[in-house]
């Protein structure tokens, strides 16, 4: 080995795991969900969560036990959401099938109907490990920023100085916010600590999404 040969390794520390998955043909399911959610919204406060959040404007937010409702399209959707989330958790934790069978996954879940001008300012989801958003209908706005979701880099100060040595770093090393526009049938899952916001929606057709917060516990605590 030459004396001036360099041996080096780059570690992807502090990466933020995010899951994106898609129901292949969600048009029938989404139409049924949209019809149901708009009907529930039309009944006023009966199905609205009683807590009014100062981060929201122009949004109908349902009660937080959506996954417990018996309607077939809701149960079909949450079959997909649960299976996707459990597969994700198992993979990134390298858990065995036996481990997964010993884990109980619980959640809060709700739907949002956002009308023209509605938005949600910067927030995260305390007291949960994983959150997810499923798109039923992204609405009809043509502006790229309309109803877009922006996730913010959780590494405080990572962008305090910018120069060519860091500005083009690729995933998982990139810095700064990440923005997406929902697509019908798409689910995004992310750590609940991650700050995010929804830009003002400019469309005429309601924007409809389902969201959840989840957390896990051992059914029987494994021996140390």
Per-residue HEC secondary structure of 47-110 comes to CECCCCCCCEEEEEEECCEHHHCCCHHHHHHHHHHHHHHHHHHHHHHCCCHHHHHCEEEEEEEE
- The domains of the chain are located at 19-218
Please give the pLDDT value at position 3. Answer: 60
pLDDT higher than threshold 90 for residue 194: yes
Average pLDDT, the chain: 95
Q: What is the pLDDT of residue 153?
A: 95
Can you tell me the distance from the alpha carbon of 71 to that of 77, in angstroms, rounded to the nearest whole number? 10
Q: Is pLDDT above 60 for 48? A: yes
Average pLDDT over residues 1-6: 69
Q: In degrees, to the nearest 5, what angle opens at C-alpha 66 toward C-alphas 60 and 68?
A: 160
Check pLDDT > 80 for residue 8.
yes
Position 205 pLDDT exceeds 70:
yes
Q: Is the pLDDT of residue 2 over 60?
A: no
Q: Name the band, by pLDDT with cuts 50, 70 and 90, for residue 82.
A: very high
DSSP state of 200: P
Percent of the chain with pLDDT over 90: 89
Is pLDDT at 1 greater than 90 in this prediction? no
Q: Residue 23 corresponds to which tokens in the numbers above?
A: 């129901």
Give the per-residue pLDDT at 121. Answer: 97
Average pLDDT for residues 112-139, to the nearest whole number?
97
Q: 143 versus 27: which is more confidently predicted? A: 27
Beta strand 149-151 with 186-191: parallel, antiparallel or unpaired? unpaired
Is the pLDDT confidence value at 166 over 80? Answer: yes
- Please report, rounded to a whole number, the percentage of residues in the chain having pLDDT higher than 70: 99
Q: Compute the distance between CA of residue 171 and CA of residue 21 in angstroms, rounded to an integer.
A: 18
Q: What is the pLDDT of residue 4?
A: 75
Of the listed ranges 96-105, 163-172, 209-218, the least confidently predicted one is 163-172
pLDDT band of 141, cuts 50, 70, 90:
confident
Looking at domain 19-218, its CATH superfamily turns out to be q2cbj1_9rhob like domain (2.60.120.620)
Residue 6: C-alpha distances to residues 13, 147, 165, 168, 176 (Å)? 21, 48, 20, 24, 31
> Which phi and psi angles does 71 have, rounded to 5°?
-60, 140
Segment 24-47, tens digit of pLDDT: 999 999 999 999 999 999 999 999
The encoded tokens of residue 218 equal: 């051992």
């Amino acid at each position: 080995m030459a004396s001036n040969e360099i041996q080096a390794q780059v570690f992807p520390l502090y990466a933020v795991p995010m899951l994106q998955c898609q129901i292949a043909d969600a048009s029938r399911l989404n139409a049924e969900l949209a019809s149901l959610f708009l009907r529930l919204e039309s009944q006023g406060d009966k199905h609205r969560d009683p807590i009014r959040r100062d981060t929201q404007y122009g949004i109908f937010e349902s009660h937080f036990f959506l996954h417990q409702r018996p309607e077939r399209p809701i149960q079909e959707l949450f079959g997909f959401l649960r299976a996707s989330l459990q597969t994700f958790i198992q993979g990134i934790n390298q858990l065995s099938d036996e481990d997964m069978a010993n884990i109980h996954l619980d959640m809060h879940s709700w739907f949002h109907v956002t009308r023209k001008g509605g938005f949600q300012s910067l927030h995260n989801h305390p007291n949960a490990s994983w959150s997810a958003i499923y798109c039923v209908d992204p609405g009809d706005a043509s502006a790229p920023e309309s109803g877009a979701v922006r996730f913010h880099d959780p590494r405080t100060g990572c962008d305090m100085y910018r120069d060519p040595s860091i500005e083009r770093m690729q995933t998982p090393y990139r810095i700064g916010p990440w923005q997406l526009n929902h697509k019908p049938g798409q689910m995004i899952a992310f750590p609940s600590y991650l700050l995010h916001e929804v830009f003002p929606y400019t469309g005429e057709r309601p924007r409809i999404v389902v969201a959840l917060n989840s957390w896990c516990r051992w059914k029987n605590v494994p021996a140390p």
